[in-house]
Amino acid sequence: MRKQIAAANWKMNCTYQQGEQLLDDILSANIALKEHQQTIFAVPFPYLIMAKSETENENNYFVAAQNCYNKKSGAYTGEVSVEMLQSIGIPFVVLGHSERREYFQESNKMLAEKVDLSLQYDITPIFCCGEPLNIREAGTQNSFVEVQLKESLFHLSEKDIKRVVIAYEPIWAIGTGKTASSEQAQEMHAHLRSVLAKQYGAAVADEISILYGGSVKANNAKELFSQPDVDGGLVGGASLNAAEFTTIISSLK
Ligand code: PEP
């Protein structure tokens, strides 16, 4: 079975102390993850080492960075490289979140460079894609998301694409409380998997985890995750509440 993942995206929230408490509260729920299940905490850069040490002895609990730069190293004040992430043992990085695309002008091409660097340094990219409201209203979401995949991922070899986790996050559902219905999520996830299958073959597409993101909460996670092509979620707001997020973790297939 491909990996089923509950990924928390803290964004720019929590002080160090609040973050530490939140992790303690979630981990003290002692949810035992099965072999095919993972929980990942995407925390702000200054908390990566703390979060790593908190999760170190927990089975299948991991830490992710929320971003990295698209250059190896050098005179890029304020940026963080994948090599830096690797040097502190961070196994995942979220790339192409819609907030990064919108506020920091991250293009599909720039994201392709970030994906390449991450894989080169053995860090698994959690690659985000998803359409804005006007595209959904025009009914062209399938081709919109397909272009995001093609331009940022489809240069990868068969071996490398299998190392990527995809997160489908319709922008109109992020932080809005407006969740895609489980049918809408399944429809898009099945489409993404068919696009992957066309490029890499069905066996490869079948191995790639596709997470849903957009107002996942304790009360809708189970239904969303029960869809055959939805392999868990990337969770913003609800990941900041221990009771909400533990229920979300428990909703994994
Ligand atoms: C996100 O940050 O990726 C996200 C999906 O946020 P929320 O769950 O708050 O909609």
Which residue of the set 54, 131, 146, 169 is catalytic? 169
* pLDDT number for residue 250: 98
**Section 171-192 average pLDDT:** 91
Average pLDDT, the chain: 97
Is-contact 123 86, C-beta < 8 A?
yes
Q: Is residue 175 pLDDT above 90, yes or no?
A: no
Q: What percent of the chain has pLDDT over 90?
A: 96
* pLDDT number for residue 116: 98
Confidence of residue 130 (pLDDT cuts 50, 70, 90): very high
Strands 165-168 and 37-42: unpaired
Q: Is residue 178 pLDDT above 90, yes or no?
A: no
SS3 content of the chain, % helix, strand, coil (to 5): 45, 15, 40
Residue nearest (by alpha carbon) to ligand 1 atom 1: 236
Q: Is residue 179 pLDDT above 90, yes or no?
A: no
- CATH of residue 105: 3.20.20.70
Residue nearest (by alpha carbon) to ligand 1 atom 8: 236
| Cα gap 214→143, rounded to integer Å | 19
* pLDDT number for residue 107: 97
Q: Give me ligand 1 centre to Cα 217, in Å.
A: 10
pLDDT in tens, 187-242: 999 999 999 999 999 999 999 999 999 999 999 999 999 999 999 999 999 999 99
* pLDDT number for residue 104: 97
Q: Is residue 177 pLDDT above 80, yes or no?
A: no
Confidence of residue 174 (pLDDT cuts 50, 70, 90): confident
Report the nearest atom of ligand 1 relative to the CA of 99.
2
Is-contact 122 83, C-beta < 8 A?
no
Domain hosting residue 171, numbered range: 4-250
Report the nearest atom of ligand 1 relative to the CA of 173.
10
**Section 239-250 average pLDDT:** 98
Q: Give me ligand 1 centre to Cα 48, in Å.
A: 20
Total domains present in the chain: 1
Confidence of residue 176 (pLDDT cuts 50, 70, 90): confident
